[in-house]
Amino acid sequence: MKLLLLTLGLLSLAVAGIAIKIWAKKDGKFAGTCASQSPFLNKEGEACGMCGKLPSEMGDCKNDQ
């Protein structure tokens, strides 16, 4: 029972931390969320699946379509 309560407490703390981070950000958006712009994750140099930018075009990932 103690383990269950500890697990639920830690999970609720993590969710609260994420919620506070979203609340504190302007418009509730995270900046630079294109994982494909990272050279460590995108070794082939493919474009972002969300915004279409290449890794060489660093900047915010905004879907302008």
pTM score of the predicted model: 0.43
If 0-12 CB within 10 Å is exposed, 13-18 middle and 19+ buried, where does residue 53 land?
middle
pLDDT one-digit tens code per residue, 19-42? 887 777 766 566 556 666 666 777
Report the pLDDT value the prediction gives residue 60, as an integer from 0 to 100.
55
30: nearest Cα among 55, 60, 63: 60
Torsion-angle region of 31 (φ positive above 0: left; ψ -120 to 50: alpha; else: beta)? beta
pLDDT exceeds 80 at position 59: no
What six digits make up the tokens of 53?
């930018």
DSSP state of 50: T
